[in-house]
Amino acid sequence: MNKIDILGIKISKINRQKSLDKIEEFLLSKEANYVVTPNPEIILAAIHDEELLHILNSADLALPDGFGLKLAALLDGKMISRVTGADMVRDILALAEKKNIKVAILNWKKGLSSKQDIDRAIKDQYPKLDFLSENVNREPKELSGDFKEFKPKIVFVNFGAPYQEKFIYHKLRQADGVRVALGIGGAFDFITGRAKRAPKILRFIGLEWLWRLVKDPKRLGRIYQAVVVFPYKVIRNKFLRPFLYRPNVACFLYKKDKGTYKVLVVERSDEPGHWQIPQGGRDGQNLMDAGTRELCEEIGCEKFIPKRAYKNVHRYKFGTRKGESSCRADSCRKHTGFKGQKQGLFIAEFIGKDEDIQVNFWDHEKWKWVDSEKLVDEVEMVRKRATQRFVRCFEDYIKTEH
């Protein structure tokens, strides 16, 4: 399926009718498919939540739910149709009623609409629909016995982002019989009448946010993110970042082992056999704070002691490293928006046990310890030059420590 990239999120280039056609295809498949509805707020959240970013980009269908996404695409010379979760929910409910397909609705119990509201509205508007609705927590540990016995083919989850997307990815896709799962935010609030949609003219010209602000001034913070912050980041990504280097922190985690030093390396989940030391964007933080945060995210624990940080250790442009494919370089430019990276180094000592390490699934497949003296030989070709410099910094640190 044709997709476009908006701030690192892959958005399906598809209209409302073709989206519904795709849903019908999913219903005939032999495995679960999941649909996400990214809007400007969700995309901004994914910039700082790598798990959410991975889940959104792994979705079978990512519907552009927000006028701001249309404008972002236009800025890149592309056209997309806005496909709102509110519209798709009604289309899918009508389809399910017509074809006698079982539907389940998992409703956040602290949301605007209650289970009773949803039951009443569905029975009134879709009287022949075979459905089950449940009030649940935003992070349920497991599916209920009633849900498992009902075996729905279509499941709507309206926990709000990122809870609904993470629940679908980790729990719902494995449920027996589920073929389509959708994270739809507060779309059922329009069906129950607890919320009123903006007039069509305001939705058409992109002023739905103004309607929502007038109706609920408490949404000011969220609307500011969608109407001000999101366009700013899109413009910056398009016109400024291609001339800049992305601030990056490489994390050199070591442990002492019988007079030698072992260094942690990880294998990329998207490139089997590609080993490197953990690293990531600094997100405006200083090296020590960014390194601590990034390492916690990468290894899933805090069993280390921050030791030292080195600024401006390595700098490179995407596409200029030995062994780097043009495809990978293009992917890095598109994902980050930058022309390359400038790397600092964060050194930390591991003080836990190996079983404490749980590398994040969206970035890495495996991890291992290697001798510091053999580190350069162990990493991928494109990483060797930078790793040589990291090792020299580590040797300098060891000398000054002793």
Quickly tell me which residue has 């903006």 as its tokens: 198
What single DSSP character describes residue 110? T
Phi and psi of 97, rounded to 5°?
-65, -45
pLDDT reported for residue 402: 66
CATH number for the domain spanning 348: value is: 3.90.79.10
Residue 327 has pLDDT above 80, yes or no: no
My answer on whether 209 and 275 are in the same domain is no
Domain boundary residue among 207, 237, 267? 237
**Any residues with CB less than 8 A from the CB of 378 and at least 6 apart, and which?**
265, 275, 370
Report DSSP state, residue 253: E
Q: Are residues 111 and 95 in the same domain?
A: yes
The mean pLDDT of 208-214, rounded to a whole number, is 86
Binning pLDDT at 50, 70 and 90, where does residue 326 land?
confident
pLDDT at 71 over 80: yes
Cα–Cα distance list, 383 to 265, 274, 279, 360 (Å): 12, 9, 11, 20
Distance of alpha carbon 400 from alpha carbon 402, whole angstroms: 5
Predicted local distance difference test score (pLDDT) of residue 331: 76
Q: Indicate the residue among 210, 237, 264 that finishes a domain.
A: 237
Whole-number Cα distances in Å, 307 to 150, 162, 272, 312: 55, 34, 31, 17
Domain that holds residue 307: 244-401
List, for residues 14-59, the tens digit of each pLDDT value.
999 999 999 999 999 999 999 999 999 999 999 989 999 999 999 9
Same domain, 268 and 365: yes
Phi and psi at 285, nearest 5°, equal -90, 160
Render 201-249 in DSSP notation, one character per residue.
HHHHTT-HHHHHHHH-GGGHHHHHIIIIIHHHHHHHHHHTGGGSEEEEE
Indicate if 104 and 20 belong to the same structural domain: yes
Q: pLDDT value at position 335?
A: 77
% of residues, the chain, pLDDT over 90: 83
pLDDT tens for 105-130 read: 999 999 999 999 999 999 999 999 99
Are 191 and 219 found together in one domain? Answer: yes
Q: pLDDT at position 204, please?
A: 84
**Residue 1 pLDDT exceeds 70:** no
- Does 322 lie in the same domain as 174? no
